[in-house]
Amino acid sequence: MQSRWQVAEVMMDSVSLSCKDLTSWQGLLLTVSLLTCWLLPTTSKLTIKSMPPIAVEGENVLLFVHNLPKNVKAFSWYTGPAPFKCCEIASHVIATNFTVVGLAHSGRETVLNNGSLLIKSVTRKDSGYYTLRTLDSTSRPEIIHTEFFVHSPLLGYKTHLTPSQLKIRLVPLMVEENNNILLWVNNLPQKLQGFAWHKGVLPLDHLKVASHSFLTNSTMRGYAYNEKVIIRNDGSLLLLNVKKKDAGLYTLRTLSMDLLSEWAIIDLQVKNP
């Protein structure tokens, strides 16, 4: 007799084959909701938070995954409320940090090793449901959904006419424990009031590493600051003698003189020496 996980995988495979035959999204949503409730254990704490939940065209949106289980080996992101193959954005293997893009990948999506999905320069067509499907070490699937809305710029709302070019690169690319690593900033905007680094993605005070003001040419340490951190005037962040605990997401936020804000995220993984 097949286990419920084997049956679930068969159901999901059969659904992925029939995506061309869809005629009712309402029926589909009901099917997906029932399947999700059946598959997910009630104790699961896996959640997704859209940041921001309501975005303006041209902004970046992060679908941030909270509490990804440690036994998850691979995951896939899809547009829409179900894991159809024709709607797959990308699949990712955590151990090798290897990503394969799917048919729904537009070139603006970046998968992070913690399960999150970054969508750059969103348009109104990006609004709607997104599905994350994970597989653990026993090939057990887990499905969870999120959604966000994109609207056109409102009168008086300041935003960029072109996508942000702000980027962060790791130097060197391979990060080993006890080495130094530079989170090198490319294309820092001109005429800035200042910038701030946070450990994680939320702009909370207790997660702030440091902020720098160009107006006063001064740097203010945050609660997440330690003596191994050096802030550079070009926006880059130097981490000395990195440890496993230093791994994770780092976010750089900038504020221009005309109050335009840009941000970029990088996922720092630290390997054993």
- β-pairing, 61-66 vs 47-51, is antiparallel
pLDDT of residue 144: 92
Residue for token digits 């969103």?
Answer: 122
pLDDT of residue 164: 57
Which domains are delineated in the chain? 4-151 (2.60.40.10), 167-268 (2.60.40.10)
Question: Contact, 87 vs 19, CB < 8 A?
Answer: yes
pLDDT of residue 240: 94
Q: Is 67 exposed, middle or buried (0-12, 13-18, 19+ CB in 10 A)?
A: exposed
Q: How far apart are CA 256 and CA 39, in angstroms?
A: 46
pLDDT of residue 149: 78
Question: Contact, 109 vs 77, CB < 8 A?
Answer: yes
pLDDT of residue 131: 94
Mean pLDDT by 10 residues, the chain (273 residues): 36 37 41 39 69 81 90 95 93 94 96 93 88 92 86 50 71 90 91 88 79 86 87 92 90 82 84 80
- Model pTM score: 0.52
pLDDT of residue 50: 84
pLDDT of residue 25: 38
